[in-house]
Structure 1
Amino acid sequence: MRFIQSDTTPLPGRPALQQHPFYANTLRMLGLDVLRVTARDPDPAAHILAVRRRFGPFRVAWVPHGPVWSDTVSSEQRVAVLHHLRRVLCPSHLQLVAAQDAADQHIMKGIGFRALSLPQSHAWLDLQPDAATRLARQHGKWRNRLRHAQSAKLKIRARPFCPDRDQKLLTLEEAQRRIKGYRALPARFTHAWATSNPDTAQVFEAYEPGGLAAFILVLTHAPTATYHIGWSNETGRALSAHNLLLWEAANWLSASGYCALDLGLIDHKNAPGLTRFKLGTGAEIRTGGATCLALPRLSLPSLRHKAA
């Protein structure tokens, strides 16, 4: 098993945003130390993205989501990669790894990792079926709201996000965030993404006669994409503009060759309404593993007693 630093190897399957080279580009623009490694045996078996940071006296190696496994990886290769993971991430660092799934978490438990959190689930919308099939998969209430929005004759505009011109959109979303009390990545992340990965942030806007009613921002990282942020005023909410924007975004992404859209975290307890909205699109739940911690392996100097 060889581990090679690489930023160019294509990723198999349906990688999440945090596993993609575009995410690495963004973090590097924000001044972070990012390591991307491909495990080969002899063909690519796994791809790992890690962020190395210092918090006071502690050095931390963080894998936000991973590894990305090749389509043909064997169970023996998965075990071998995860056993070598601690060495790859630097044994002297405190190591935080968000396991890809429950199977990886079980393997990691046997090599010194301990779960810090419960596994998280995301809503993933399959974009490979045709529009008619995706429409049929929507929940009835969600589809009715989509039709309501379509009858309102909102004008939809899709275009690349421009960091300089579109700061006003980020300002609107940040104000909404403060009012509603939810968390999202800061505006500087959006600027860094759009700057370091040109034409991979796509804005979908809904206009009514009085002006902008709603928008969503989607980050594309082929072969998948991620819903990033969105905003809506009272008119937009009354007209179900977000249903229409997500539908139009899904159609655009599907026509552009993207296979899936990550709609974000599923939280039945703290955000039941938002969870129902995401699943109403016809999205499926994809559950990962827990975020796991391994303490640094310290090399202590040997102590020799002096002869009396």
Structure 2
Amino acid sequence: MFDLSSADPMPHATSCDTRDRALPQSDEFAKALRLSGQTPLRLDRMQDMIVLRRKFWGRIPVAMINRADLTKPARLLEILQEEGMPRTPVLLSPERPTPELARLGALPLMTPASVAVLDLGGTRADLRARLQQKWRNRLNAAENANLRVTRQNMPIDPDHWLLRADSALQQTRGYRSWPTALTLAYAQSNPGQAKLFQAHLGNDIVAGVLILTHGDRATYHIAHSTEAGKAQNAHNLLMWSAMEWLAAKGCHSLDLGVINTEDAEGLARFKLGTGAELRKLGGTWLFWPPLGRRLAPLARLDLNLMRA
């Protein structure tokens, strides 16, 4: 059962536009960073690529570039030096495999992860047909249950139940995601682009999914389901509701995040059950300008070991 009459539609001015970037490289993410007190560097000579600047241990400056499409990595490294970072270590996590980084002297630190990306193109029937059978069966069961789905803009409330549940899960499982303040900054600086879908069973909220839209893409950000919600397959119903809404707004894809089959096998199955495809990222690399290409032989050796 659906109750979306009170939900705010995606504003026309901020709906899907011509930009096609992962969330960490989007204009919307940059706005959230600035609102939360950070000052990301925008490289206009690299199509406004976002560079984060951090200090490790409070004193070592590091530049960080996440999910950028590094079509010209050599030029990027030159521009960073021209921007006043001639000795600053650079951590690069490209959107796609970029083996040229090894030739430039960047050292591979982490093997490439894979993300699940869901194609939202086609008709509603096409979306439904791409669901895996078990996923579709659970969705059918949820649609026949006594669930009510609502959609709204994410409230600017640090004590919101979904944010509290996500923080508790991070502590329990020992991983780190966005701080609550950054999630709220995203919602506040990008009105209408942090959409909260909730499933109600009677008077109780039993599940929630927070979707962030950016350009002509969207990202699955936070989700939680209670035991009652799990019993009713509420997560499937909320995901399907989000898929339908995003497709109707013209978003072409939904990034479901990293697939981890070792520590989160159930979540991985859930994401892939939507019909999403795996897309390999580019790993994590470290480049230190003072050494540059002198590390290339070691970088190539490390790269070969990563592939072994």
**Could you state the TM-score of these two structures normalised by the residue count of structure 1?**
0.82
For residues 205 and 128 of structure 1, the distance between their equivalents in structure 2, rounded to whole angstroms, comes to 24
- In structure 2, the partner of 1:6 is none
Aligned residue number for residue 94 of structure 1: 89
Q: Which residue of 2 aligns with 1:248?
A: 241
Selected match of 1:208 from 198, 201, 206: 201
CA deviations 1:198-256 (Å, max 9, x no partner) are 22100001111141111100111021011110111111000000000000001001101
Q: 1:16 aligns with which of 22, 25, 37?
A: 22
Amino acid of the residue matched to residue 253 of structure 1?
A: L
Question: Structure 1 residue 48 and structure 2 residue 49: aligned?
Answer: yes
Secondary structure at the counterpart of residue 39 of structure 1? helix
Q: Residue type of the partner of 1:58?
A: I
CA distance in 2 between counterparts of 1:221 and 1:112 reads 33
Note the 1:176-215 alignment, pairs <5 A. 176-179=169-172, 181-215=174-208
CA contact (8 A) 1:12 1:68 kept: no
8 Å contact kept, 1:39–1:81: no
Q: 1:13 to 1:207 in 2, by over 3 A?
A: same
Alignment-derived partner of residue 127 in structure 1: 120
Which stretches in structure 1 are left out of the alignment for 5+ residues?
1-9, 41-45, 70-77, 299-308
2:66, 2:95 within 8 Å by CA — same for their partners in 1?
no
Identical pairs, percent: 38
After TM superposition, give the deviation of residue 194 of structure 1 in Å. 1.1
Q: For the Cα contact (< 8 Å) 1:176–1:231, is it kept in 2? A: no
Pairs aligned (count)? 274
2:252 aligns with 259
Q: For 1:277, what is the secondary structure of its paired residue? A: helix
Partner of 1:75: none
Whether contact under 8 Å (2:54, 2:62) holds in the other structure is yes
Q: Name the residue aligned to 2:166.
A: 173
CA shift, 1:86, in A, is 4.4
| Cα distance in 1, alignment partners of residues 81 and 40 from structure 2 | 16
Kindly indicate whether structure 1 or structure 2 has the higher relative contact order, using CA contacts under 8 Å at least 6 residues apart: 2
Aligned twin of 1:35: 41
- Which residue does the alignment assign to 1:26? 32
Give the Å deviation of 1:272: 1.6
Q: CA RMSD in A?
A: 2.3
Q: Which runs of 5+ in 2 are unaligned?
A: 1-15, 292-308
Any conservation in 2 of the 1:94–1:293 contact (CA below 8 Å)?
yes
Change (3 A) 1:133 1:68: farther
Deviations 1:164-204 (Å, cap 9, x if unpaired)?
Answer: 38723312333344445554322111111112222210000
Inter-CA distance 254–188: structure 2 relative to 1 (3 Å threshold): same
Shift of 1:30: 2.4
User: Aligned with 2:146: secondary structure?
Assistant: coil
TM-score by length of structure 2 reads 0.82
Q: 2:78 aligns with which of 72, 84, 99?
A: 84
The structure carrying a bigger strand percent of its residues is 1
